[in-house]
Structure 1
Amino acid sequence: MPGNTASVRRGRKYDQVLKGAREIFLRDGFEGASVDEIARTAGVSKATLYSYFPDKRLLFLEMATAQCQAQADEVLVALDKSKPPRVVLPYIGRSVLDFLLSDMGQRVFRICVAEADRFPELGAQFYECGPVLVRSELQSYLAAAMARGDVEIDNLGLAADQFIELCKADLWIKRLFGIHDVFSEGEITRVIDAAVETFMARFGPSSSA
């Protein structure tokens, strides 16, 4: 498969091409996205596009991982590990849920699933560039919180995964199946607050039980 051996070339119009690709992939999906339309939207020739990305799947992979990396970086820059769990966990939970409910988050998830057999590295690389980064930082924060006595956790990785899953309750599955596209601030706050309360009930200090 070309995507296994092809490589991305970075240059003057790299960001321009990615911006055009993001617009078209979000609008048309992976299969529906036309390389001609991406080139036109990006304001480059088809030859120029192919000089940067020899394969459409490689272009989508680069666009998706760049977007996920940017999202993760935005979350992590503002993460203050010195603050208590009831301050930090709502921030992380809200950031994760906002991305999962977004058009980009939904589109990338659907395409990763649809292309899993033909393009398994797509999901793997996307996972490494976004979810793994956030999970790793959450795990690191929980370790710091545990050292301060704010939480009591035996398996930090599992606890981080469980918190992220709690934040997906109700809303993510409704978004995935198209039951609702937009959620109110109250609905989002309800889920995040419940996730934090459930997590702290399980992992908070014994003295707070």
Structure 2
Amino acid sequence: MVRIKSDEVDRDNSVDKVEQILQGAMQEFLQNGYAGTSMDRVAVAAGVSKATVYSHFQDKEGLFKVLLEQLASKKNNSIFGTEPIGKEPAAVLHHLGTKALDLMNSDQEHTAFMRVLIGESGRFPELAQICVRAMIKPVAETLTQYLAAPELNIPDPEATARILLGALVHFHITQDVMHGRDIIPMESDRLIDALIHLITKRAD
């Protein structure tokens, strides 16, 4: 009979508690916004004590930051973890653009979370800055590295990465976050194909 060490059990329980807290926090932030959410409400939603919440997270901002970082890590790994290395630049960019929009458009929780973040950014600018650091900056840096490839012959890879990322985020916000799909409809492939043409035609 295999005996499980007590410290291993404690560690597993701790991971489970953190996941419970994060799920409860997401539920509360989506329902009540940042200002309307309290650590007390998170504890109730998570089914744990308030002391347990504070044992893992110092305050509400820290909890929100971890949620953002978790969401960003999940999205970035999904997008860049399946990059078709070795294919021509147009194919790689089409894959990345399509994957990014598919993930944003299909994830209702992500869309709802972005609404909360945008709505609260005026009163809590530090929350928006957390989003930029955790979600926007890593993607922009990864795209910049790829676009700096000599064969693309792009004079300013960083600015080009910002243009590409900005177009994709703008498309997601206007189409999904702000419910504009019926007002300014456009197929995502049209946007991605146009972006690829603008970026890769210099390499021809």
Task: Give the TM-score of the pair, scaled to structure 1.
Answer: 0.74
Opposite residue 140 of structure 2, the aligned amino acid is R
Opposite residue 196 of structure 1, the aligned amino acid is I
Opposite residue 83 of structure 1, the aligned amino acid is K
Identical amino acids, percent of aligned pairs = 29
Q: Determine if contact 1:169/1:191 at 8 Å carries over to the other structure.
A: no
Q: Determine if contact 1:29/1:107 at 8 Å carries over to the other structure.
A: no
- Which residue of 1 is the match for residue 70 of structure 2? 66
- Which residue of 1 is the match for residue 5 of structure 2? none
Cα distance, 1:165 vs structure 2:
2.5
Is structure 2 residue 136 aligned with structure 1 residue 131? yes
Three-state SS of the structure 1 residue aligned to 2:34 is helix
Which residue among 143, 147, 156 is the counterpart of 1:142?
147
Q: Determine if contact 1:64/1:108 at 8 Å carries over to the other structure.
A: no
Cα distance, 1:118 vs structure 2:
4.6
- Which residue of 2 is the match for residue 76 of structure 1? 80
For the structure 1 residues 72 and 171, does the alpha-carbon distance in structure 2 shift closer, same or farther, using more than 3 Å as the test? closer
Structure 1 gaps, min length 5:
1-10
Cα distance, 1:126 vs structure 2:
2.0
Determine the C-alpha separation between the residues in 2 that align with 1:115 and 1:25.
11
Q: How does 1:23-62 map to 2 (within 5 A)?
A: 23-62=27-66
Three-state SS of the structure 1 residue aligned to 2:187 is helix
Determine the C-alpha separation between the residues in 1 that align with 2:146 and 2:171.
26
Is structure 2 residue 158 aligned with structure 1 residue 157? yes
Opposite residue 164 of structure 1, the aligned amino acid is L
- Which residue of 2 is the match for residue 90 of structure 1? 94
Determine the C-alpha separation between the residues in 2 that align with 1:36 and 1:124.
25
- Which residue of 2 is the match for residue 193 of structure 1? 193
* 1:78-100 superposed Cα distances (whole Å, 9 cap, x missing partner): 22443212211112212333454
The range that moved more, 30-39 or 120-129, is 30-39
The range that moved more, 39-48 or 59-68, is 39-48
Three-state SS of the structure 2 residue aligned to 1:31 is coil
Structure 2 gaps, min length 5:
1-13
- RMSD across aligned positions (CA): 3.0
- Which residue of 2 is the match for residue 5 of structure 1? none
Determine the C-alpha separation between the residues in 1 that align with 2:194 and 2:23.
37
Task: Give the TM-score of the pair, scaled to structure 2.
Answer: 0.75
Determine the C-alpha separation between the residues in 2 that align with 1:111 and 1:56.
15
Determine the C-alpha separation between the residues in 1 that align with 2:84 and 2:148.
13
* 1:126-157 superposed Cα distances (whole Å, 9 cap, x missing partner): 2222221111111111223x2xx2x1211110
Determine the C-alpha separation between the residues in 1 that align with 2:181 and 2:30.
18
- Which residue of 1 is the match for residue 168 of structure 2? 167
Cα distance, 1:195 vs structure 2:
2.2
